[in-house]
């Protein structure tokens, strides 16, 4: 290579490096909230005398990670490159280390002597004129958490002068579960394939696992179960354990313990036994050998998660044994190593007779576990979903939390938005989680609160183990969850697991500052969107606690009002011609309400006191039942769906005010998702409202349902090549019908614009199936005004509520008499389906 070329290469490398160091350049979302973007000059001014040295007392992988993170963060935010030493010297410094070491190294430092596990203290002190910032952890992991806290404070622009902060987590268990399959797919994952597995093995490159460990550590998460609860037996087979060793190694520097999900029938399926009876000594021996083998290679292994007797998974019922028998046999193998067994409380019969009005899936958890309280070993933890059904948009707190007093428990929250829009909709979840965490179960003597958060942290009944599990399901997509804004849920989960007392507003504010910067316009718009998003989703997808109106036996995404009815899965809302809702009262219904303490049950049992957001969860009422507002239930349903769709449209306009204030990549990617959401909210609104209007026979008193202004059904246009088809379920197409094109050379639909001239939005509602990418062109008077491909890969191969979507051409200038023409070309098995066109 000649001199000149070397020079060019160096210049190029330099140019590339200087781009990399400027975070504003290409924001992929890969760093989540840990971007360490340079602080504004005003914010930076208060850190002007920031020390230039970090002293790391002692040495360990976690301590090194802490130091390196500090160096990285300070370089990014303050532009200061910290020098690293092992002993306190003559100048100002940041000192990090375990509490005992910091106390020894810095005489007189106010380091607390009694920090609890994972706790830390961050403070400042002056020694002979030297200014020291101290990060002291109870153990190494506490140092890491303290370091991230210090960095967060700087990122948020907090003054450090009088820093004196002691923090301890609310509970020892703060884990995430990843429902990853060994083939690399993720059950209910919406952001690409697994970061852990591919082709039935652990991935060769685990960079993303370590990056994920970093995000988790920054919010205090200390464990991760990497494999699907619908477990694959291979994950604990002897030949697979060395692969787990690699995963554990990727997480270890971040203080995250590895765990996996197990299949209860493993002793038979892979252990060569003819049984998996938990009381058979050979079965106990199988579990012991299996567990001993794992710990021999992964001494800090966390334990197992077990889903048994649920949704087709085998369990102790095969031998008429109890859940306690099942849990204890495995827990006893784990106990000598300090491992824990998470036993899932999500046990129910999915073949229930729907005709029997007394049947109720919501009762299952308490019915199954009530009598077992006190029979679980000390290292068993019952893992209980927040509500009694399954991560619906609105559920009461599971009564099981208040039922168990002698059993360890954790709350299972879902970060991945399975039933809540699958990250194609933004639904900020901390407000929903907090409603459950702050619910008072009233199971202690009068006058004493028993908040769910005190039950799950173990505080209420002095249980040693407890806490929080979040089903996160991140994927290989650069931004982890598919939607940049959805990362607020991962962040929020960790923050609440650490301190459930934090407010949703504060969490949203912290996350936004770190993710998008501190411009007040950005903070206001993003907080506004986040905090309104759960109510909005609830408004357009099903209000009053009705449960889910989605396709429950399929992908759980778009509307399909009746799909939960007349099957054994028990997610019924029991809507018929006369009324709606599940009667769960003790007096006339399933008796579910009686599973709560008498004081709570009394409130739910009476129509007069039942919180209206849970009305249809607890009661079956006629459509004409009047709410406290004076409105009938049916009118409330109509109105809320219009309101929700308006709120979703408002997210788009609010986000648009941030153009130029947020980096281009993330601005456009978020805008695209919000525009999709606004369109899909209309799909939801119209499907639910038309279904209820037809079923109840009661018209919307505002006259909106079924009469959208400016809407022209595709089937009524002048069609060339298109044929008219019925859509199933009928409510997911306007008028129940759509048009499809079977000709590879394309089809067209035209109509004449007869309204007054002006700039108008032209909306096309079509179906974007996953089995093709049809092309569309919109023309006005022969001139193309829009063109697009249906390549969103929405989660279905048919035209229905999952695939219905909208495209809007904004501000098209129209003259009376203009011919509007939509051309469509099918692709693959997708026949370029169109539902309607709307001019607004």
Contact flag: residue 798 with ligand GCU (CB under 6 A): no
The site string for ligand GCU over 416-435 (x = CB under 6 A, - otherwise) reads --x-----------------
Strands 130-137 and 120-127: antiparallel
- Nearest CA-CA partner of 102 in 133, 74, 81, 69: 133
- Cβ neighbours around 613 below 10 Å, total: 15
Q: What are phi and psi of 616, to 5 degrees?
A: -80, -10
The single-letter DSSP state of residue 88 is: -
390 vs 715, beta carbon nearer ligand GCU: 390
The nearest distance, CB 54 to ligand GCU, in angstroms, is 43
The nearest distance, CB 385 to ligand GCU, in angstroms, is 7
Three-class DSSP category at 225: strand
| Cα gap 577→623, rounded to integer Å | 9
Out of 309, 412, 418, 639, the active site residue is 418
Question: Long-range pairs for 743-747 at CB < 8 Å and ≥24 separation?
Answer: 743/826, 744/825, 744/826, 745/721, 745/825, 746/721, 746/823, 746/824, 746/825, 746/826, 746/832, 747/719, 747/720, 747/721, 747/722, 747/823, 747/824, 747/825, 747/832
229 vs 763, beta carbon nearer ligand GCU: 229
Contact flag: residue 50 with ligand GCU (CB under 6 A): no
| Cα gap 566→558, rounded to integer Å | 19
The nearest distance, CB 412 to ligand GCU, in angstroms, is 8
Contact flag: residue 349 with ligand GCU (CB under 6 A): no
Contact flag: residue 394 with ligand GCU (CB under 6 A): no
Contact flag: residue 342 with ligand GCU (CB under 6 A): no
Whether the bond between 729 and the residue before it is cis, its omega within 30 degrees of 0, is yes
Contact flag: residue 229 with ligand GCU (CB under 6 A): yes
Contact flag: residue 346 with ligand GCU (CB under 6 A): yes
Contact flag: residue 187 with ligand GCU (CB under 6 A): yes
| Cα gap 123→528, rounded to integer Å | 34
Contact flag: residue 463 with ligand GCU (CB under 6 A): no
Contact flag: residue 362 with ligand GCU (CB under 6 A): no
385 vs 673, beta carbon nearer ligand GCU: 385
Is the Cβ–Cβ distance between 369 and 345 less than 8 Å?
yes
The site string for ligand GCU over 293-312 (x = CB under 6 A, - otherwise) reads --------------x-----
Contact flag: residue 185 with ligand GCU (CB under 6 A): no
Whether the bond between 158 and the residue before it is cis, its omega within 30 degrees of 0, is no
Does the annotation mark 390 as catalytic?
Answer: yes
182 vs 229, beta carbon nearer ligand GCU: 229
DSSP alpha helix (H) spans, 542-626: 598-605, 615-618
The nearest distance, CB 420 to ligand GCU, in angstroms, is 12
**Residues 6 or more apart whose Cβ sits within 8 Å of residue 310:** 344, 346, 347, 348
- Residues 188 to 217 in contact with ligand GCU, rule: CB under 6 A: 188
- Per rule CB under 6 A, count of chain residues that contact ligand GCU: 8
27 vs 390, beta carbon nearer ligand GCU: 390
Taking each helix axis from N to C end, the angle separating 487-498 and 207-218, rounded to the nearest 10 degrees, works out to 50
- Nearest CA-CA partner of 203 in 212, 193, 195: 195
Per DSSP, the chain holds a count of helices (H) and strands (E) of: 21, 29
Does the annotation mark 605 as catalytic?
Answer: no
The nearest distance, CB 710 to ligand GCU, in angstroms, is 38
Does the annotation mark 178 as catalytic?
Answer: no
| Cα gap 564→546, rounded to integer Å | 11
229 vs 804, beta carbon nearer ligand GCU: 229
Phi-psi domain of 531 (left: phi exceeds 0; alpha: psi -120 through 50; beta: other): alpha
312 vs 630, beta carbon nearer ligand GCU: 312
The nearest distance, CB 195 to ligand GCU, in angstroms, is 19
Which of 210, 230, 499, 743 forms a contact with ligand GCU (CB under 6 A)?
Answer: 230
Out of 390, 412, 510, 583, the active site residue is 390
The nearest distance, CB 335 to ligand GCU, in angstroms, is 25
The nearest distance, CB 344 to ligand GCU, in angstroms, is 7
347 vs 593, beta carbon nearer ligand GCU: 347
Is the Cβ–Cβ distance between 386 and 435 less than 8 Å?
no
Beta strands in 64-181 (DSSP E): 83-85, 93-98, 120-127, 130-137, 164-167, 173-180
307 vs 425, beta carbon nearer ligand GCU: 307
- Residues 72 to 91 in contact with ligand GCU, rule: CB under 6 A: none
165 vs 349, beta carbon nearer ligand GCU: 349
Out of 311, 672, 701, 726, the active site residue is 311
The nearest distance, CB 563 to ligand GCU, in angstroms, is 13
231 vs 441, beta carbon nearer ligand GCU: 231
Q: What are phi and psi of 106, to 5 degrees?
A: -125, 95
67 vs 307, beta carbon nearer ligand GCU: 307
Three-class DSSP category at 87: coil
Q: How far is CA 87 from CA 124, 316, 568, in A?
A: 17, 57, 66
Which of 31, 360, 390, 731 forms a contact with ligand GCU (CB under 6 A)?
Answer: 390
DSSP string, 9-27: HHHHHHHHHHHHT-TTS--
| Cα gap 508→506, rounded to integer Å | 5
Element (H, E) at 65: helix 61-78
- Residues 578 to 597 in contact with ligand GCU, rule: CB under 6 A: none
The nearest distance, CB 424 to ligand GCU, in angstroms, is 17
Contact flag: residue 802 with ligand GCU (CB under 6 A): no
The nearest distance, CB 423 to ligand GCU, in angstroms, is 15
- Nearest CA-CA partner of 595 in 324, 408, 446, 396: 396
The nearest distance, CB 313 to ligand GCU, in angstroms, is 8
Three-class DSSP category at 517: coil
The nearest distance, CB 187 to ligand GCU, in angstroms, is 5
Q: Tell me the chain's radius of gyration from C-alpha atoms.
A: 29
Contact flag: residue 524 with ligand GCU (CB under 6 A): no
Q: What are phi and psi of 726, to 5 degrees?
A: -85, 140
DSSP string, 415-464: -S-TTTTTTTS----HHHHHHHHT-B---SSTT---BHHHHHTTTTTT-S
229 vs 714, beta carbon nearer ligand GCU: 229
What's the distance, CA 323 to chain centroid?
28
Could you give the dihedral angle defined by the CA atoms of residues 185, 189, 193 and 199, in that order, rounded to the nearest 10 degrees?
A: -20
Catalytic residues: 311, 390, 418
Task: Catalog residues that contact ligand GCU under the rule CB under 6 A.
Answer: 187-188, 229-230, 307, 346, 390, 418
């Amino acid at each position: 290579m000649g001199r000149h070329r070397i020079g060019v290469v160096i210049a190029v490398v330099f140019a590339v490096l200087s781009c990399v160091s400027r975070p504003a350049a290409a924001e992929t979302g890969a760093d989540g909230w840990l971007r360490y973007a340079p602080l504004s000059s005003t914010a930076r001014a208060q850190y002007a005398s920031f020390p230039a040295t970090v002293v790391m007392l002692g040495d360990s992988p976690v301590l090194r990670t802490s130091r390196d993170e500090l160096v990285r963060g300070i370089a990014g935010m303050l532009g200061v490159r910290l020098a690293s030493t092992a002993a306190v010297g003559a100048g100002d410094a940041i000192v990090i280390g375990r509490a005992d070491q910091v106390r020894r190294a810095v005489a007189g430092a106010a380091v607390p002597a009694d920090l609890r596990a994972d706790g830390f203290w961050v403070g400042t002190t002056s020694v002979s004129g030297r200014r020291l910032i101290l990060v002291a952890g109870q153990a190494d992991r506490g140092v890491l958490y303290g370091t991230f806290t210090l960095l967060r404070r700087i990122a948020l622009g907090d003054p450090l002068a009088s820093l004196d902060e002691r923090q301890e987590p609310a509970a020892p268990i703060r884990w995430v579960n990843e429902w990853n399959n060994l083939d690399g797919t993720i059950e209910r994952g919406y952001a690409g394939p697994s970061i852990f597995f591919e082709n039935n093995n652990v991935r060769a490159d685990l960079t993303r696992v370590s990056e994920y460990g970093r995000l988790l550590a920054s919010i205090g998460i200390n464990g991760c179960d990497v494999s699907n609860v619908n477990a694959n037996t291979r994950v604990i087979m002897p030949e697979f354990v060395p692969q787990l060793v690699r995963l554990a190694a990727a997480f270890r520097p971040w203080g995250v313990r590895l765990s996996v999900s197990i299949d209860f029938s493993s002793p038979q399926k892979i252990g060569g036994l003819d049984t998996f009876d938990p009381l058979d000594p050979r079965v106990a021996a199988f579990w012991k050998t299996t567990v001993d083998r794992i710990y021999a290679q992964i001494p800090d292994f966390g334990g197992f998660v077990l889903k048994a007797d649920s949704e087709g998974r085998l369990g102790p019922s095969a031998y008429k044994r109890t859940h306690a028998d099942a849990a204890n046999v495995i827990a006893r193998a784990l106990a000598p190593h300090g491992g824990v067994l998470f036993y899932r409380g999500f046990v129910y019969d999915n073949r229930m007779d729907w005709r029997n009005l007394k049947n109720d899936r919501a009762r299952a958890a308490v019915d199954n576990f009530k009598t077992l309280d006190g029979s679980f070993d000390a290292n068993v933890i019952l893992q209980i979903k927040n509500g009694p059904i399954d991560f619906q948009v609105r559920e009461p707190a599971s009564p099981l939390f208040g039922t168990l007093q002698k059993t360890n428990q954790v709350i299972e929250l879902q970060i991945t938005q399975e039933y809540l829009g699958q990250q194609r909709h933004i639904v900020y979840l901390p407000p929903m989680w907090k409603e459950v965490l702050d619910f008072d179960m009233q199971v202690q003597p009068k006058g004493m609160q028993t908040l769910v958060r005190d039950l799950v942290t173990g505080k209420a009944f002095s249980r040693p183990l407890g806490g929080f599990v979040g089903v996160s399901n991140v994927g290989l997509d650069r931004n982890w969850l598919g939607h940049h804004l959805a990362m607020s849920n991962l962040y929020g989960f960790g923050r609440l697991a650490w301190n459930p007392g934090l407010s949703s507003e504060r969490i949203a504010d912290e996350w936004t500052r770190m993710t998008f910067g501190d411009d007040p316009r950005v903070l206001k718009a993003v907080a506004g969107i986040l905090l309104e998003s759960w109510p909005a989703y609830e408004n357009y997808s099903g209000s009053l606690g009705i449960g889910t109106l989605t396709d429950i036996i399929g992908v759980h995404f778009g509307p399909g009002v009746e799909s939960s009815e007349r099957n054994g899965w028990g997610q019924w809302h029991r809507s018929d011609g006369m009324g709606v809702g599940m009667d769960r009262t003790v007096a006339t219904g399933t008796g579910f309400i009686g599973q709560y303490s008498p004081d709570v049950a009394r409130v739910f049992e009476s129509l007069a006191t039942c919180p209206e957001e849970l009305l249809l969860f607890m009661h079956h009422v006629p459509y004409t039942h009047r709410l406290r507002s004076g409105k009938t239930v049916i009118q409330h349903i109509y109105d809320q769906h219009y309101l929700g769709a308006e709120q979703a449209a408002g997210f788009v306009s609010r986000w648009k005010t941030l153009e130029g204030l947020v980096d281009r990549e993330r601005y456009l990617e978020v805008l695209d998702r919000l525009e999709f959401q606004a369109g899909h909210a209309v799909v939801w609104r119209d499907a639910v409202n038309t279904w209820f209007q037809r079923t109840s026979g009661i018209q919307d008193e505002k006259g909106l349902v079924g009469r959208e202004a400016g809407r022209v059904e595709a089937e009524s246009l002048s069609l060339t090549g298109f044929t008219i088809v019925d859509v199933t379920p009928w409510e997911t197409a306007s008028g129940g019908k759509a048009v499809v094109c079977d000709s590879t050379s394309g089809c067209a639909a035209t109509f004449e614009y007869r309204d007054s001239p002006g700039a108008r939005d032209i909306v096309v509602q079509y179906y974007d199936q996953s089995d093709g990418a049809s092309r569309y062109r919109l023309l006005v008077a022969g001139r193309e005004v829009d063109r697009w491909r249906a390549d969103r890969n929405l989660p279905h191969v048919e035209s229905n509520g999952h695939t219905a979507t909208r495209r809007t051409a904004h501000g098209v200038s129209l003259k009376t008499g203009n011919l509007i023409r939509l051309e469509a070309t099918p692709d693959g098995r997708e026949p370029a389906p169109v539902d309607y066109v709307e001019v607004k």
